[in-house]
Amino acid sequence: MTRFVFNTAATLDGYLADRDHSLSWLFEVDGGTPDAPEHADHFSAFLEGIGVTVLGSSTYEWLLRETGALKDPAAWTSAISTKPAFLFTSRDLPTPPGADLTVVSGDVTRHLDAIRDRAGDRDVWVMGGGDLVGQFADAGALDEIQISVAPVTLGAGQPLLPRRLGADRLHLTSVEQRGQFAHLTYRVGG
């Protein structure tokens, strides 16, 4: 059965990016990229299980900026794979030629069937940002959270998950050290 999984790196004080939407703090950590030896096999296995990626527009714009995918469509597939993605935005944003990208907006519950359909028997990667993940949690469509906690604090930035999810909903299922990162996995209930 398709599960909705939030998998991300975050700072120790719970941010996905700094105030300027930069991830420089992450890339400064030893092993701070998904292809680093301490993450590569885990990340490949995770991606293998994913049928669809869901992302919000800031995350999307960051990916476009970092990869140059509008000019080099191959950069999009290497960043996000050839699998379909759903972009949540209320704006008319440019898309990389040939990308399997469905642009949607509004209440996430209206899009869950289409997202599940495209995922087939695989999982959905809810990439972020945090509020979009919260919208999936509000809709009862968040099954797992995987966080690689970096040894960094920022004091301010884009929040990891700006919702109240109590201990009745979050159950810690695994803790692993991956180099400088603590990889935490939670089952989300309720």
Ligand X SMILES: NC(=O)c1ccc[n+]([C@@H]2O[C@H](COP(=O)([O-])OP(=O)(O)OC[C@H]3O[C@@H](n4cnc5c(N)ncnc54)[C@H](OP(=O)(O)O)[C@@H]3O)[C@@H](O)[C@H]2O)c1
Q: Which residues bind ligand X (CB under 6 A)?
A: 8-10, 16-17, 21, 23, 26, 56-59, 62, 88-91, 105-106, 108, 127-132, 135, 158
Q: Which is nearer to ligand X, 151 or 189 (CB)?
A: 151
The span from the CA of 111 to the CA of 45, in Å, is 26
Query: Which strand (E) or helix (H) includes residue 63?
Result: helix 57-67
The span from the CA of 83 to the CA of 152, in Å, is 32
Q: Which is nearer to ligand X, 115 or 132 (CB)?
A: 132
Q: Tell me how far, at minimum, the Cβ of 186 lies from ligand X, in Å.
A: 16
Nearest to 148 by CA among 2, 6, 4, 37: 6
Q: Which is nearer to ligand X, 4 or 189 (CB)?
A: 4
DSSP state of 111: G
Q: Which is nearer to ligand X, 131 or 144 (CB)?
A: 131
Q: Tell me how far, at minimum, the Cβ of 168 lies from ligand X, in Å.
A: 26
The span from the CA of 9 to the CA of 80, in Å, is 16
User: How many residues does the structure list for the chain?
Assistant: 190
Q: Tell me how far, at minimum, the Cβ of 127 lies from ligand X, in Å.
A: 5
Longest dimension (CA), the chain: 46
